[in-house]
Amino acid sequence: MRLSMTSDLWWKNAVVYCLDIETFADGNGDGIGDFRGAIQRIDHLDRMGVTCIWLMPFFPTPDKDDGYDITDFYSVDPRLGTLGDFVEFMRVARDRGIRVIADLVVNHTSDQHPWFKEARSSRNSRYRDWYIWSDKPEPDDPEGVVFPDKEDSLWEYDEKTEQYYYHRFYRFQPDLNTANPEVQDEISRILGFWMELGLSGFRVDAVPFLIEQVTDSGDDLPDPHEFFACLRAFLSRRDGSAILLGEVNLPYPDLVKYFGNDLGDELTMCFDFISMQRTYLSLARKDARPLAAALRERPNPPRDSQWATFMRNHDELTLDKLSDSEREEIFAEFGPDKDMQVFGRGLRRRLPTMLGGDLERIKMVYSLLFSLPGTPVLFYGEEIGMGENLELEGRLAVRTPMQWTPHRNGGFSEADPAKVGLPITKGDFGPEKVNVSAQERDPDSLLAWITRLIRHYRDCPEFAWGKYTVLDTGVDAVFAHRADCDGETVVAVHNLGDAETEVELALEGLDSSKVLTDLLVDGRIEIGDSGRVSFPMGRYGCRWFRASTPETAPADSSDPS
C-alpha cells in the first residue's frame, strides 16, 4: 500500500510509548524525573522506532494520585521542570520525527485547585456550578466506586456550604460538571493551549465518566457523544492531524459509539480492553480460542479511526470484563498471592514477572501485540522486561523508575538513593540484571527483539490498515490471522503453548503462484494449488509471513539462489 496514506493518518500504524516524566530520567539530581532528563533519553526511543510519545500527567499537583489530581491545567509541576523545559522536550522529539500526546484529565480536579477552593467558599461562588453538588448523598452504586479499597461512597460532605460534592474517584478529586457549557469551553481552551505548544493530541482519561447522570435533579444532561463530537471538531479545526485516544473500558457495542459510530467524528482511537483481557485468559490457558473469539466479535472502527492494542498500561491490569471464574483462572496462573491483586478485579504486576521471566514466551507475546490489528501501545520499561515492586502501594507497583544502567539508582538519578522518589526494583528484575545499556549490546535481548518487531511492523502497514481475518489453525494453542490491503497479504501465527506443533492453514485467494516468506526468521514456504500451507511451530513460536510472488519475495538467506 502507498506510504503516503500511512503518513496522512499517522496514528493508524504508529508505535505509541507511554512514559511518566517523574519516573523516566532525572536531569538535575534531585531524585525526581524531569523534562531535562527525559530530553537526554529521547534517542533511546528514536533508536527503538517509537513514533509517538504519550506523556502521563505532568501538571502541578499535590501528588496524592500520582499526578492525576491536578491544580493547574496550564502549567508544569515545578518538580518536573518549567514550560520552557516542556517546549525543549517537544522540540527535540519533533527533530527525531516523534509526535507527542498527553493525558487529558478533565473528569475531575484536585480539591486544591483554585476552581474548587472558590466553589466551596460559598453556594453563590461563580465556580459553584463547575462541580456537582447535592443536598443529600445520592444513592451509591457499590460497583460504581472505582477504588473500593479507599472509598465507600461517591459523595463527600462539605461542612462550610453544607452540601455533598460528587467524586467518581478519590474524595480529594471532585468531579467537574462537564455538562456546564463554561466547563466545556474551558476544556477546549486547555486543548488549544497545549496544541499551540506542539502536542499532536490527547489520551482522554475516564471517558465514560466525563458526562454522567449522578443526581435526581431532573435536569437533562447533554449527550456525551455530542460533547465528544464538539471536542473532536475543535481539535480538527486547530490541527487536522491531531488525535483523541480514549480510555473506554466498555463492552464493544457501547464502546464503538465513542468513535462516533459510522461517522468517526468523536474519538480517533479507543483502547481495546476486551481483546487485552481475553489475551491474558488465552495465555493462562495456553489456548488461543478466547483471543480469537474476541477479535471475531470486535466491530470494525470507522474508516479513519483505529483500535489501540496493549499488553500493559500504567493502571492495574484490569480483568473486569471477564467472568468471575475466568478472572480466578488468571489470578491463579499469574497472581496467586492476594498482594499481587488489586481492587478484586486486576493485577498489579508486569508481564515478565507473570511469565516467570521466560524470554521465549515474553518475546512471543510482544510479537503477538505488534501483529494484532490496531496500533500498539507500550508502557515504559516494557522494552527491556522491567518487573514490578510489590512493596509499593496499589498501582504504584508498576510505576517504578526506568532502569538505564546496572549502577546506582539504575542510572535513573545521580541522587542519594534515599532521595529517589520511588524505590528502584530489586532482585531478578532489578537494574543489575535488567537495564537498557546491557540490552543495547545484546542482539538476543528483549530490547533488540522489540526494536526488530517495530521495524517489521512499520514495514507491514497491512496489520494496521488491512482487513483482518482470524484463521482456523486446527490447534487450540495456536492463534493465526491474516491482514489484506490493496492486494497485499501478511499472515501472523503464534503458538501460545509450550509444546511444538504442526500447523496447517487455508489461505483463500492464494495459490502456488505465491510463496510465504518469514519476516522474523529465515524461511520460505510454498503454497499449494488449493491455498493450503503447513509448517512447524516451536514452543511459544511466532512467525510473520508476507505473501508474494517468488520474484518479488523478500530476501531469504536460506534460499540458495
Separation of first and last alpha carbons in the chain: 28
Total Cβ atoms within 10 A of residue 74: 11
- CA 320 to mean position of chain CA atoms: 17
Dist CA 199 CA 191 (whole Å): 9
CA distances to 39, 65, 277, 320, 353 from 249, rounded to whole Å, are 32, 20, 11, 9, 25
Q: Is the dihedral angle over the CA atoms 448, 450, 454, 460 positive or is it negative?
A: positive
Residue with cell 479507599: 150
**Helices 289-297 and 273-285, axial angle in degrees (round to 10):** 160
Q: All 3 cell numbers of residue 98? A: 516523534
Dist CA 58 CA 505 (whole Å): 48
Question: Which helix (H) or strand (E) element contains residue 347?
Answer: strand 346-347
Residue type, position 89, single letter: F
- Please, are residues 504 and 532 in contact by the beta-carbon 8 Å criterion? yes
Q: 77, 103, 138, 247: which is the annotated catalytic residue?
A: 247
Residue type, position 350, single letter: R
Q: 34, 111, 175, 205: which is the annotated catalytic residue?
A: 205
Point out which residues pair with 309 in neighbouring strands. Answer: 376
* Residue 134, phi then psi, degrees to nearest 5: -150, 145
Dist CA 51 CA 241 (whole Å): 14
Examine the residue annotation and report whether 205 is marked as an active-site residue of this protein. yes
Examine the residue annotation and report whether 559 is marked as an active-site residue of this protein. no
Q: All 3 cell numbers of residue 211? A: 458526562
Name which of 344, 282, 279 is nearest 316 in CA terms: 344
What single string gives the DSSP state of each residue in 403-422?
A: --SSSGGGGS-SS-GGGSSS
- Please, are residues 302 and 260 in contact by the beta-carbon 8 Å criterion? yes
**Helices 446-459 and 359-371, axial angle in degrees (round to 10):** 20
- Please, are residues 89 and 38 in contact by the beta-carbon 8 Å criterion? yes
SS3 state of residue 491:
strand
Question: What single-letter DSSP state applies at residue 177?
Answer: -
Determine how β-strand 243-246 pairs with β-strand 201-204. parallel
SS3 state of residue 457:
helix
SS3 state of residue 114:
helix
Residues with catalytic annotation? 205, 247
